[in-house]
Structure 1
Amino acid sequence: MNKFVTAAAALMFSWAAVAGSVADSHTDMAGCDACHDDGMPSSDLVYENETCVGCHGDLADLTQVHQDHQGMMVCTDCHITHEEGDDASSTCANCH
C-alpha cells in the first residue's frame, strides 16, 4: 500500500510541476469568483476551502493521499493556489 501511495504522490507532484497554477486553471472558468467570495480572498481561507470541497468533494471522496489527511488538513494547506506548479513538498516536509 505504501508503494501505491508513494507512486500516486510522485505522479501528482510531477504533473503539478508542468502545470500552471491552480488559480490559472480556475480563473478560466469564472474569474476570481470561481474560488473567492465576490472575487476577494478571505482572511482565513475558509470560504476558499469550502469552495474546493463544493466542486471536488471532501478529502474522503478523493485519492488515498487525500483520505489519509482527512481531518488534519484543508485543501489550501497543500494546494498553493497562486504559485506555479502547486508544489506541496514543503508542506509535506513539515510532518514527514
Structure 2
Amino acid sequence: MMSNKLLSALFAAGFAVMMSSASFAADENLADFHVEMGGCESCHADGEPSADGEFEFEQCQSCHGSLEEMDATHQAHDGMLMCADCHAPHDAVVGEKPTCDTCHDDGRTAE
C-alpha cells in the first residue's frame, strides 16, 4: 500500500502538471474554472447552492478525494470543515492556496 506522503507527492505532481497545461485567466476564480467542467451543476444540485453546503462538499470530494485521503493539513480538518470553508470558490483565485494564518493567528504551520 502506498504511503500518504507518496500519494500526496503524486497528487501534487499531477496537479502541477494539470495547472501548467490548464488554460485559465490569471485572475479566474475557482467557480468560473469549474463551470468550464460542466456548468454550475458540476458543483451545485440543479445549479443552485444547497442550504448547508453538504452537496457541494460531496462534489469536491468526488473529484479531489476526501480530506482523509489528502495531506496532513487537510486530514487535521477532517470532520470539522468543508472545502469551501478554506477554498471559497466564488472568491478564491485559481492556484491561490490559503495559509494556516488565514484562520489561525497562533503561529501554527502546515506539517
Q: What TM-score, normalized by structure 2, do the two folds share? A: 0.60
* Unaligned stretches of 5+ residues in structure 1: 1-17
1:75 and 2:86 matched: no
Q: Higher RCO, 1 or 2 (CA under 8 Å, sep at least 6)? A: 1
Q: What is the deviation of 1:19?
A: 5.2
Aligned length: 81
Instruction: Report the secondary structure of 2:47's partner residue.
Output: coil
* Unaligned stretches of 5+ residues in structure 2: 1-25
Q: What is the deviation of 1:63?
A: 2.3
Q: Which residue of 2 aligns with 1:62?
A: 70
Moved over 2 A (4+): 84-91, 93-96
Q: What TM-score, normalized by structure 1, do the two folds share? A: 0.68
Q: What is the deviation of 1:88?
A: 3.8
In the TM superposition, 1:35-50 aligns within 5 A as 35-50=43-58
Larger Rg: 2
What's the RMSD between the two structures over aligned residues? 2.6
Counterpart Cα distance in 2 of 1:84 and 1:76 = 10
1:92 and 2:91 matched: no
Structure that is richer in helix per residue: 1
For 1:10-30, what per-residue CA distance to the aligned partner results, in whole angstroms no more than 9, with x for missing partners? Answer: xxxxxxxx5521101100010
Counterpart Cα distance in 1 of 2:83 and 2:92 = 16
Counterpart Cα distance in 1 of 2:29 and 2:105 = 22
